[in-house]
Structure 1
C-alpha cells in the first residue's frame, strides 16, 4: 500500500493544483492518518483494528499505524521476531495476541509499541521467558500470560516493567515461586496482583510471602502444596487476616483444614499466653523480649516460628544474635537496643493446628519510648493520649463558647419599664424592649433589643438612696428607640455639649 500523502500529492493534470494543497491541508490538520486504508483481512473502526479469527500466520503489511487497539487473537502466529511489527505504533495501548501458536518471543519484540498498557499473550505455547523479552515497555500495566507452558522465567524478563500492576501466570508449569519479580533490580515496583494458580508449586517461600502480601494479592490456589508446618502457619494466618486470595478460593488449598495423619506441628493444650492483643513498652536503647502469643512451649523440633515486623519478616530457623531483631529458637522475638522506629504491630506466625477463635489475635503492639499513662493489662501510647486531650479541649471550648453566645442573645435580662424613674443597678446598661403602646395593643412588631450604654456609677447596688442618673432619659423619645431600625433615634438631650452618643441599634 502506497503512502496516502504520496498518492494525494502525486495527482496532477486537470485540477492537480487543487489536489496538492488538499493533501498539505490534511497533513497540517493531523487528519491524514485517519484516511489510511484498512487491510482486507481486518476490520477497522476509528482507532480500533481487529484481525481476529482470520487464520493469519503472518502480520498484514499495511496495518494502520494510528491504531490504539490491535486484536490479532485466534490466528496461527508462531513467533514474534524483533521486526515482526514493520512500522512504529506510537499510539498503540492494547495488543491482543491470545489464542495463537506463539512459542518464541525474541528480545525487543515490542520495541515498536512503547506505549503499550495492556498486553495479552494468553493461551499460547510459550515455555521460557527470555531476558529482555519485554524490553522498553515501561508503561505496561497489565500482562496476561496464563494458559501457556511456561516452566522458567529469566530474572531479567521483567526488568523494564516499572509500571506493571497486574500479572497473570496461572495454568502454566512453574515449579518455583518467581521471587525475581520482586527482588530483581529494575523490576516491577507497584505489582499489586499476581496470579500463580494452577501451576506446579509444591513449596512456598513463607517468609517472603508474609512481607509481599502487604503489597497486594497473590493467588496460589490449585497448586500441589506440601502440607508442612510453615505452609500451614501461613494459611492459618491468612485465614485470620481474611486474605482475599485465600478466602475467595479456600476450598482449593490442600493445607487449609490441617495436616495429614501422624504429622503434628503443635502440641494440643492450653496455651501459655492467651491469644489476645498485648502491648509491650521499652525505653530507647534497652532490650525487649516478646513471647509468641498462644505458642505452647517447648516448641516441637523442626517447627519454624515467623515474626512479621513493621518492616520485614524473620524466622527462628536461622537466628542471628548480632542482628537488631532476631527470633530465638523458642519463638521469642528479641529486640536489641530498641529504636523509636521499632514501634508498631508485630505478628507471630506459627502453626497452631487450629483456627483462631473470635477475639483471638497473634499480634502484639510494641511501643518504644515513654507512655502517658497505664491501664490494666496495657499501656496507652503518648501521642494517642495527647491527640485525645487536644480534641477534647477544643470541643469543650467550642461548647462553652456556643453556650455563652446563646446566653447573651436570649437570656440577657431585659429591663423594659422601671416605673417612670431612671433607677438602675449601677446604670451600666439599660436594655430597652418593646414599645409599651405596642405591648398594650398586642401588636409587637419587633423582637430585637436595643442597648443604650451609660456612664458607670460608683455603686452597683440597688439598695439605698436613689442615685442621680448619668443621663436624663425622660426626654428621649421612646418611639425612635423601639423601632427596628425603621426610624432614627430622636435626640432631645438637655445639654447640647453632652459627651454621650445617642443610642444606636446593635
Structure 2
C-alpha cells in the first residue's frame, strides 16, 4: 500500500509530494502529526515552546504535550481552572505564566503538570492564596509570586509543596510574616530561600527568625519594620554573623546609624567586660548558670533576652518554669540537671547598642562532663588511630615490596643468550645467571637468580669514567655475569675496571 502511495505521488518517477514526505518522516520518527504541530504565533524549538505575547486568553488546544519548557508570559490569561490544560504535560519542568492578569487559581489546576520544577506566576493580580491551590506539585523547587497583590495566605496554601526550596514573595502587600510555611503539615520541608522584601511588614517574629535563619536566607529589606529593641538585637547579631541578606542590603533595613533607639534598649546596661569566647563545664545532672557575655552579673532586668541553644531559641519573657532550660529576667541562662546532649554553642542575643568587633563573640561553649577527661580521651583516641594508621601503612608497604621483589625474581626473564650488544636487564641491576657452558655440560651450580642493585646512574654518562660499585664483595669470583647484555667469565666484582 505504501508503494502505491509512493507511485501516486511521483511524476515520471522523479518527483516527491512535500506533504507526503513530511508525513512519511513523522511516521518514521514515531511522532503523530497532530502532536508535532506548533500553534500559530508560538515558537517551537525542540522541547521548548514559547507562546509569549500572543494575546492568549486560553491555552491552545493543539499545543504539543512533549514540551519541557512552556512560556505563556505576556498574555491575557485571567484564571487557571481545573481544565485550563486539555491534556497531561508529563514532561513539563518549567511553566512561565508571568505578566498575565491571573487573579484566581482553582484547586487541582496543576494536576496536568505533576513534574514541574519551576513555576513563574509573577506580575499577576493574585490577592489571596487559598488552601491547596498548588496541589499535585510535589516536585516543585522554585515558585515565583513576586509582583502580585497578595494580602493573605490561607492555612494550607502551600500544602503538597514538599520539595520547595526557593519562594519569591517580594512586592506584595503582606502585613504578617508567613510562619505557617515552616510548621504547617504538608508544607515545604527544606525552604532555604524566602524573599519578603518590599511588603508591608511592621513586625517580625524575632525569636522564630533566629531559628529559621540557621537553615537559609530570609530577605526583609524595604519593609516598614518598627525599630524596637528586639529587632535591634536581631540586626546586631546578624551583622556579627555576617548574615548575607542583611549585609547585602544593610542600608535598606531600619535601625540604621543615627536612628537607633540606644537610650531605650542599652542605657547603662553594657558593661566593660569584653565579649570573649568562654567555656563553661558542668557535670551531668548538675545545675549551671551562664551569664550573657559582656554584661555584669546580675544584669539589668526588663530587657528581652534571647538565647540560641543547640536545639531551640529561648526568650526571657516566655519562660516555662518546668522547662529544662530557662532564661532568667536578668539574662542568665539556667541549665537544670545538665544532660550530655546539652553540650554545644550558646549565643546571647540582646540589644547592646554597638557593633561587635571581629574578635568579639556573644557566644559561649558549654561542656557537660569532665573537660580534662574528654580532652584526654579525645587525644588518646586520636593517638591510637594515628598509631593504627602508621602500623597498617607500614605493613602494607612491606607486603607490596615483597610481592614486587618476588615478581622481579621469578617473572623477569634472564637474557643469558641474548645479543651481547644489547643493554640486557637494565642499567640499574646485575642479573647473575649460571654459565651457559655449565648448563650444556650438566654442571649447573644454581638454577636461581641473584640481584645486586646499583645506585642509579645517568644513561648517557661517559663510558671512559669508571663507576663505583654499590657494594664490596671481596674477591668472590662469579661466572657468567651479564651486565647491559654482555657476558664476562672469571671476573671479580671487586674489580673496578670491569665493573664499568
Residue 45 in 1 paired to residue 45 in 2?
A: yes
Change (3 A) 1:488 1:268: farther
Query: What SS does the aligned partner of 2:264 have?
Result: coil
Query: Structure 2 vs 1, CA of residues 131 and 357 (structure 1 numbering), >3 Å: closer, same or farther?
Result: same
Is the contact between residue 432 and residue 482 of structure 1 (CA under 8 Å) also seen in structure 2?
Answer: no
Alignment partner, residue 234 of structure 2: 234
* Match of residue 72 from structure 1: 72
2:49, 2:71 within 8 Å by CA — same for their partners in 1?
Answer: yes
Equivalences, count: 418
C-alpha distance in structure 1 between counterparts of 2:337 and 2:490, whole Å: 83
- Pick closer, same or farther for the CA change 1:328–1:158 going to 2, 3 Å: same
Taking the aligned partners of 1:121 and 1:229, their CA distance within structure 2 comes to: 37
Q: What is the distance in 2 between the residues matched to 1:142 and 1:390?
A: 48
Per-residue deviation at 1:40?
0.6
Residue 339 of structure 1 and its aligned partner are, at CA, apart by 1.6
CA distance in 2, matches of 1:385, 1:172: 56
Which whole-Å deviations, capped at 9, do the CAs of 1:1-48 have from their partners, x for residues lacking one?
xxxxxxx99x989779xx99x989967964447961111121111111
Q: Secondary structure at the match of 2:265?
A: coil
TM-score (norm 1): 0.73
Alignment of 1:207 with 2:207, yes or no, is yes
RMSD: 3.7
Identify the residue that residue 404 of structure 2 maps to in structure 1: none
Alpha carbons of structure 1 residues 481 and 172: separation in structure 2 relative to 1, 3 Å: same
Residue 366 of structure 1 aligns to a residue whose secondary structure is strand
1:468 corresponds in structure 2 to: none
Paired with 1:46 and 1:208, the residues of 2 have a C-alpha distance of: 47
TM-fit CA distance, 1:146: 0.3
8 A Cα contact 1:235 1:256, kept in partner:
no
**Do the aligned residues in 2 keep the contact of 1:134 with 1:158 (CA within 8 Å)?**
yes
Deviation of 1:59 (Å):
1.6
Number of the residue aligned with 1:449? 471
The whole-number CA distance in structure 1 between the counterparts of 2:367 and 2:275 is 19
- The CA distance in 2 between the partners of 1:92 and 1:226, in whole Å, is 44
**How far off its partner does 1:358 sit?**
3.1
SS at match of 1:264: helix
Is 2:341 the counterpart of 1:341? yes
Gaps in structure 1 of 5+ consecutive residues: 1-7, 374-379, 402-430, 435-440, 452-472, 493-506
Partner of 1:495: none
Q: After superposition, what is the alpha-carbon deviation per residue over 1:458-493, rounded to whole angstroms, capped at 9, x for unaligned?
A: xxxxxxxxxxxxxxx65x22798897997799799x
Tell which deviates more after alignment, 123-132 or 262-271.
262-271
**d(CA) in 2 for partners of 1:282 and 1:487?**
81
Aligned partners of 1:489, 1:54: CA distance in 2, in Å? 99
**How far, CA to CA, are the matches of 2:255 and 2:305 in structure 1?**
17
Equivalent positions of 1:134-173 (< 5 A) are 134-173=134-173
Aligned-partner Cα distance in 2 for 1:486–1:323 = 91
Deviation sequence 1:30-89 (CA, Å, 0-9, x none): 444796111112111111111111121222111111111111111111111111011110
Task: Give the corresponding residue for 2:191.
Answer: 191
1:407-446 aligned at under 5 Å gives the runs: 443-445=465-467
- 1:446, 1:483 within 8 Å by CA — same for their partners in 2? no
Contact 2:108 2:133 in 1 (8 A): yes
**1:77-116 correspondence runs (5 A):** 77-116=77-116
Superposed displacement of residue 448, structure 1: 3.0
State the distance in 2 between where 1:244 and 1:77 align: 37
The structure-2 alpha-carbon separation of the partners of 1:480 and 1:184, relative to structure 1 and needing over 3 Å to count, comes to same
Partner of 2:410: none
